[in-house]
Chain A
Amino acid sequence: MSRQATRGDPRKVNGELFTLTYGALVAQLLRDYEDDEEVNKQLEKMGYNIGVRLIEDFLARSNTGRCNDFRETADIISKTAFKMYLGITPVVSNWSAAGDEFSLLMENNPLIDFVELPDGHNSLNYSNIFCGVLKGALEMVQMEVDVKFVQDQLKGDSVTELRLKFIKRLEDAVPVGED
């Protein structure tokens, strides 16, 4: 029997390539560091490094301008950035009264497509790279934010929830001795 000419949707496969590579990375980190907290930390660092580059790619391709407030930023993160890179649109909700804190709710996090957490990894935030990416990317547009995991579908929650808290606006620091 001869094979069919085409196999699957290449774009779909591409998403799988990303998901599987990320999975292999987390597995490798767990072998190397043998400690969930440490792996979380490393994943966040890697995310940060990706974020600081990703933002350039994002600004170049998305044609977005300056945001007027944090609410607008939240919208762009969810409706433009997540949509463009991962094909999902997380729900923005749970705003704090001061308007400086919100949650991104994801129902279908592509990173965890083929994943099941083995026992004994309760403190591992498998998708912790998100925190780093968001932090790194926002820092490059003069915003210091704190990002953390609140809920994780891998641990039995019904959604994956990321909480973003605005810390401060970063001013361009002038090098010492220059005006």
Chain B
Amino acid sequence: MCDDSLFDFLHSEIVAFLYRTADKDDQDQCISKLESLGFRVGQSLVERFTKDCGRFKDDLDIMKFICKDFWNSVFKKQVDNLRTNHQGVYVLQDNRFRFLTQISNGKQFMDTAPRYLAVACGIIRGSLANIGVNSIVTAEVSAMPACKFQIQIQRA
């Protein structure tokens, strides 16, 4: 089976590659490209995941699945804290996020953190979309390597 580190190498090279090859003016696009790349991955991944399990009871049940099993497999640990306002907004806090652990802890690389979270946001959004939940996923970093993902569920 594939070694974990391969994915880390591939991920950081994808981010570096897109930024290296983009023109100065197109750098905004990189985030959305990374996000859509993640979306695709999330979509197919969750299908493989949930193939043998029953229906989810409700949104909270889905979120618990994302925070535990899903996070464990994709990001190698569970989410540290899950909060919700019970109106469709969920905040997932990870104190040691996989993609940020290789980056220095100080303030120095704060500006570049978003590009290392875009793929993850896409993966989460893609997975939820394939379970049948449309959402907007955003991430924020206040102190590396911790980060918060906010999931806003969109009702049709």
- Taking A10-B72, A85-B3, A86-B2 as contacts, is the C-beta distance between A20 and B52 under 8 angstroms? no
- A110 & B54 in contact (Cβ 8 Å cutoff): no
Interface residues of B (CB under 8 A from A): 1-7, 9-11, 13-14, 16-17, 21, 33, 36-38, 40-41, 44-45, 48-50, 52-56, 61, 65, 69, 72-74, 119
Query: Considering the chains assembled together, what is the distance between the CA atoms of A87 and B4 in angstroms?
Result: 11
- Taking A17-B7, A18-B10 as contacts, is the C-beta distance between A46 and B17 under 8 angstroms? yes
- B56 & A14 in contact (Cβ 8 Å cutoff): no
- B9 & A22 in contact (Cβ 8 Å cutoff): no
Partner pick for B69 among A6, A14, A46, CB 8 A cutoff: A6
Further 4 A-B residue pairs, CB within 8 A, beyond A25-B14, A57-B5, A85-B2: A8-B49, A14-B2, A15-B2, A20-B44
- Taking A8-B49, A11-B1 as contacts, is the C-beta distance between A114 and B44 under 8 angstroms? yes
> Does residue A28 face the partner (Cβ distance < 8 Å to B)?
yes
Q: How far, in Å, is B77 (CB) from chain A's closest CB?
A: 11
- B48 & A16 in contact (Cβ 8 Å cutoff): yes
- A7 & B54 in contact (Cβ 8 Å cutoff): no
Partner pick for A53 among B2, B4, B9, B55, CB 8 A cutoff: B9
- A13 & B37 in contact (Cβ 8 Å cutoff): no
- B54 & A3 in contact (Cβ 8 Å cutoff): yes
Question: With a CB–CB cut-off of 8 A, which chain B residues contact A24?
Answer: 37-38, 40-41
> Does residue A80 face the partner (Cβ distance < 8 Å to B)?
no
A–B pairs, 20, beta carbons within 8 Å: A1-B54, A3-B56, A7-B52, A8-B52, A14-B1, A14-B73, A15-B2, A16-B45, A17-B7, A18-B6, A18-B7, A19-B2, A21-B7, A21-B37, A22-B10, A25-B37, A28-B36, A49-B17, A85-B3, A86-B3
